[in-house]
Structure 1
Amino acid sequence: MKPKRAADSDDLDDFFAEPDPGHASRRFGPDDELGEDDFDAEPGERVAARAAEDDPDDDPEATRSLDAEEQPDDDDEDSILGLGEQSQRGAGSRWKSVIAVLLSIAIIGGGGYFGFQKASQAWTSFRGVDYDGAGDESTSVLVTIREGMTITEIGDTLAANQVVASSRAFVRVASGDGRSNSIHSGTYQMRQHMSAQAALDVLVDPANLATNLVTVPEGLRDSEVFTQLSQMTGLPVSDFEAAAKDTDALGLPDYAQDNVEGYLFPETYTYDPADSATDVLAKMVDQFKQVAAQEDLVDKAAALGRSPHDVVVVASIIEKETTNFDYGPQIAEVFYNRLDKGVKLQSDATVIYANNMSGRITTTDEERAIDSPYNTYVTDGLPPGAISNPGRDALHSALNPTTGDDMFFVAVNPDTGETKFAATEEEHAANVEEFQEWCRANADRCDEED
């Protein structure tokens, strides 16, 4: 769906004509993932309309509630966008500066299509493009509006989730519509690629607040997912176990090898009380496929010389090995280096899975000796399937490994997730000693000083 302009200006229309159709632009996924912390505010609590960005102590007029009688003039874009008198006087020079900067971006960006893309994206943000219509029926997304959000923050959230084309388009529409005062905090089921007006129409109607929400966190194995879903929906665990076996009905990707483990994407979902276990799991599989497409799973896996399934398995191990995904790509590097050199992965996370344990940091010699294809201390290569259902961060890490010679890693501080890497056993031994020091200081957290 092609965006339309929300502001009229012809300064760069020729420059920003459509690029060569042979060059497809990349579609980016939402930056924000919903978690349990996003639902602190009770649905129905009114969003306090705060002023956008300025310090009220510096300028009392810069901050005011949208409840105030004075509303911006629909035809005065500068007032809607919060431009002061001085800014309005300098509008002409500002346009010249913006045009110069955008042209510079095109040049600095290397020219050609990629230079065009950078400048076009900057111009899109500045102008506040908008979509037409009520959005794509096939691309729904849950958006959480927190109590106290400004109109700008709401616009940013909508844009980040691809609901609207730009935050500025939403700000323009919402700032000129008194109904914005009635936006309530809570979670809304919305479509992607909606016009700003259509998005506002959804948010101002409390009937659109999502109910019957189910949140599945990252890193759960299938049995844990089924238990949680059963508790939230009232459906028996056995229903989910049976539904998981009918992979065709769930729409599982062919590369998943008829195993839902790893493909039940952790997210917050709405469910209808009439939904069956198959309906619920199918939503999770569909969400995985959407995220996989956004992350370009198939093509990036091929570029790494891996199958999509192998990447999902690696992601599932990364999900359990770290709580700090700043280290995720480097952990992926270690795993791929060991696979390429025929060295066993020796991941404690796989041992914990093979022994059907949870909540453990370390493992014992006996546990590491278990005869299981999932025990990477005794088997070569990857486990036959995922050991958890990974989230976006873990999947992104598995698809974007760093490049280097590291062969070992250890989380030296499990509380912070601080992780150290090594290319040699000697370096790794020093890092392990640092972890053991942490264990000695946290004896109740470690089962064995490895």
Structure 2
Amino acid sequence: MRVLAGGLLSLILVGVAVLGILWVEYQQFLRTPVALDDDQGLIEIAPGTTLFALAERLTAEGVIDDPYFFAALAYQKGLQDQLKVGEYDVSADARPVDLLERFASGRSIQYPVTLIEGRTFDEAVAGLADHPALQHELVGLPTAEIMERVGIDAAHPEGWLFPDTYLVMRGSSDVELLRRAHQQMRSVLAEEWEQRAEGLPIETPYEALILASIIEKETGVAEERPAIAGVFVRRLQRGMRLQTDPTVIYGMGDAYDGNIRRADLREETPYNTYVIDGLPPTPIALPGREAIHAALHPADGDTLYFVAKGDGSHYFSATLEEHNCAVRHYQLNQPCRALRESP
């Protein structure tokens, strides 16, 4: 019995000594800064990464010294299930606890992804295909399936993405981004519709979206949008055709080669506003908030025509005679004295 008791006591003493050594090493682990090649490094946590897998990877890469101490620290801090997917910048003076708290905070590096005003739905989707921060799930899919995945509950996808710059984490999917853009468009359109001016020849938010897309394509000068909207609204009120080239171009599809010919203006397509009455059946591009606001708050006046001046802006006319004069002046380089000095 004495021999057994002595052996048990020896085991206890050895165990205490081992625990003491481990405790000292653990404290040293907590105090030791992470090892980075430069003053700052990037550490990525991919979807599905477990705490132990991350600890082992950081140890293999030489960032920390012990995966078990790292995992133990996470449990000690209650962060074992709080690590967020993302890409994190880490400074060279960071301690293991700093790493864990950063990973749990979700303050990862954000990358900008921009959907540009005036682009079509197809152009917007295609523009995401080469973005290095995105996970690409939509490449090669038909439009109908893209709409289903994004959640666009409409007969046609055009116009239903809000053009803006979105911040995403590396590894975010293109589907997630387009869902955000779609929900943002629905939200902005609803807000603007609730604050619309009275007496507009527009009966639904969707019609406002269609008109806004035409306004977006007609001018790149922000201050002109209400004036452009005013022309279109007055034409709609008077039963005049919109006669706007961007709708013709959209209706031509791949047949458009950079030029609109007289035959194109006579071609009967659902989008040829030289032929059809009223608005085309769908938007023709992604309109921004300013274009939507202009469609629902058109400028007052009597102008019914406008022509490009060659510098991005337009000359607005109230009569066909004045408009024809402006066309000769600005497009045919035939000076016309009948034009106002300050159009």
Q: Against the structure 1 CA distance between its residues 436 and 396, is the aligned structure 2 distance closer, same or farther, given a 3 Å change threshold?
A: same
Equivalent residues of 2:108, 2:169 under 8 A apart: no
Residue 280 (structure 1) aligns with: 177
- Partner-residue secondary structure (3-state), 2:228: helix
State the distance in 2 between where 1:302 and 1:243 align. 38
State the distance in 2 between where 1:337 and 1:297 align. 19
CA displacement, residues 184-243 of structure 1 (integer Å, 9 cap, x when unaligned): xxxxxxxxxxxxxxxxxx9xxx98464333111110011111110122234443347244
Residue 237 (structure 1) aligns with: 139
Q: 1:435 and 2:330 equivalent?
A: yes
TM-score by length of structure 1 reads 0.46
Q: 1:300 and 2:199 equivalent?
A: no
Q: 1:340 aligns with which of 220, 232, 237?
A: 237
Equivalent residues of 1:311, 1:399 under 8 A apart: yes
Residue 384 (structure 1) aligns with: 281
- Partner-residue secondary structure (3-state), 2:306: strand
Residue 267 (structure 1) aligns with: 164
Equivalent residues of 1:244, 1:260 under 8 A apart: no
Q: 1:216 aligns with which of 109, 115, 118?
A: 115
- Compare 340-349 and 266-275 and name the one that shifted more: 266-275
Q: CA deviation at 1:338?
A: 1.1
Equivalent residues of 2:230, 2:301 under 8 A apart: yes
Q: 1:225 and 2:225 equivalent?
A: no
Q: Against the structure 1 CA distance between its residues 286 and 303, is the aligned structure 2 distance closer, same or farther, given a 3 Å change threshold?
A: farther
Residue 269 (structure 2) aligns with: 372
- Return the letter of the residue paired with 1:419: H
Q: Against the structure 1 CA distance between its residues 303 and 258, is the aligned structure 2 distance closer, same or farther, given a 3 Å change threshold?
A: farther
Q: Against the structure 1 CA distance between its residues 244 and 339, is the aligned structure 2 distance closer, same or farther, given a 3 Å change threshold?
A: farther
Equivalent residues of 1:320, 1:388 under 8 A apart: yes
Q: CA deviation at 1:391?
A: 1.0
Equivalent residues of 2:240, 2:277 under 8 A apart: yes
State the distance in 2 between where 1:268 and 1:346 align. 32
State the distance in 1 between where 2:320 and 2:183 align. 42
State the distance in 2 between where 1:273 and 1:316 align. 31
State the distance in 2 between where 1:314 and 1:210 align. 38
TM-score by length of structure 2 reads 0.59
- Return the letter of the residue paired with 1:338: R
Equivalent residues of 1:409, 1:421 under 8 A apart: yes
CA RMSD of aligned residues (A): 3.0
State the distance in 2 between where 1:246 and 1:228 align. 19
Residue 246 (structure 1) aligns with: 148
Equivalent residues of 1:251, 1:285 under 8 A apart: yes
- Partner-residue secondary structure (3-state), 1:271: strand
Q: Computing the radius of gyration over CA atoms, which structure comes out larger, 1 or 2?
A: 2
Q: CA deviation at 1:274?
A: 5.1
Q: Against the structure 1 CA distance between its residues 267 and 403, is the aligned structure 2 distance closer, same or farther, given a 3 Å change threshold?
A: same
- Return the letter of the residue paired with 2:322: E
Gaps of 5+ in 2: 1-39, 41-101, 335-343
State the distance in 1 between where 2:197 and 2:207 align. 8
- Partner-residue secondary structure (3-state), 1:421: strand
Residue 290 (structure 2) aligns with: 393
- Matched residues, percent identical? 36
Q: For 1:1-150, what aligned pairs fall within 5 Å after superposition? A: none
State the distance in 2 between where 1:297 and 1:317 align. 17
State the distance in 2 between where 1:394 and 1:285 align. 17
- Return the letter of the residue paired with 1:429: N
State the distance in 2 between where 1:273 and 1:239 align. 22
State the distance in 1 between where 2:115 and 2:174 align. 15
Q: 1:425 aligns with which of 320, 325, 330?
A: 320
State the distance in 1 between where 2:257 and 2:117 align. 14
State the distance in 2 between where 1:281 and 1:351 align. 27
Q: CA deviation at 1:310?
A: 1.0
Equivalent residues of 1:250, 1:281 under 8 A apart: no
